[in-house]
Amino acid sequence: MKRFFQSVERDQSFKKMTIKPPNDAAAGAAAAAPEPPVDGDDAWREPSKFMSWNANSLLLRLKKNREELMGLVQRLDPDIIAIQEVRIPAAGRKGEPKNQGDIKDDTNVAREDKQIVTRAFSALPLSNYRVWWSLSENKYGGTALLVKKRFNPVSITFSLDAGTNKHETDGRVVLAEFQSFSLLNTYVPNNGWKDDEQGFQRRQKWDQRMLDFVSRSSKKPLIWCGDLNVSHEEIDVSHPQFFQNARLPGYMPPNSEDLGQPGFTAAERQRFSKLLKLGDLVDSYRWLHKEQEFDCGFTWSGHPVGKYHGKRMRIDYFLLSRQLLPHLTSSDIHGHGIEMEGVTDTCRILWERSLSYYNGAFTSLLFSRQA
């Protein structure tokens, strides 16, 4: 979904935390023993600071806004960075199977692009992280997960399906298991405007797979983040009636619950409610922010010219297993629409230099230290 957003710095003070591991933590520790501590007992703690970002072309950000991006990561200093829509093609020649865990480098242009990414990830602060890619076969979609080197995931997989390490089509999933929780980074398919294989049907199949995923028994709590491409409640959009009645000119969906802006149809919102209930998941942002915040409470903003001017949606989330709520300290959105005036923060440059303001906002999650 097109985004027209600037990033805005939030006055945030982060602390470290320790989440109490479940009873079977010893078995997990045996499967992936942690590295020796490099920074006192902090090195033994679980990640507590999380950042999610729909980059809408990570490569373009690194080409045009590398210093601004590095500065933002340096300031927020997250333990984990979940990225969606990296828009970097997977390795492999045309017509051959692709390696979705590596970047394409079989042409001069691809090699130059890969060098740009490699150099950026070899410099501070990104050199503090290990990165796992799940890339699409072309310059579309794709996700990445960056984890500080002091933390050791028990496992990293790339599918919603159990018992496989195959990547999702378009690289839409990175699933990381830690000693005391699992983290799911997803780029959810857009619902589209029509009842076809690339629209309603594709999204319905995805939502059913997500229901299957959260219904599978797991002893570890879940953090699910990313671009979930849905605005759950009316409070999550700026103009509910506008979005409810939006439709593609000349097309009327067969079912009335599919009418509306992709991400705000009744069908999508009902399925999302079912997901939250079945998985006992809580929207961390809405848990802490009960009232609508028009200036900084949305993560998608319509084109600054035309009927979508001033129209906004919140489609990016950090969802938590309910048992993690006692540890939740903050859940924030770092950005707002370009039509707003008076933004003086230097993070604004990250968006102003990008063509068409085709971007989304950063979201962050923080857990508190546990005694």
Q: Catalytic residues, which ones?
A: 187, 227
Contact indicator for 343, 7 with CB cutoff of 8 Å: no
**Alpha helix positions (H), the chain:** 25-31, 58-64, 66-76, 108-121, 200-215, 240-245, 266-279, 284-288, 348-352
| Calpha distance 231→299 (Å, rounded) | 10
| Calpha distance 75→317 (Å, rounded) | 21
Termini Cα distance of the chain: 42
SS3 content of the chain, % helix, strand, coil (to 5): 30, 25, 50
34: preceding bond cis by omega (within 30 degrees): no
Q: Report helix, strand or coil for 27.
A: helix
Contact indicator for 26, 34 with CB cutoff of 8 Å: no
Q: What is the DSSP letter of 327?
A: G
Q: What is the DSSP letter of 92?
A: S
Contact indicator for 90, 137 with CB cutoff of 8 Å: yes
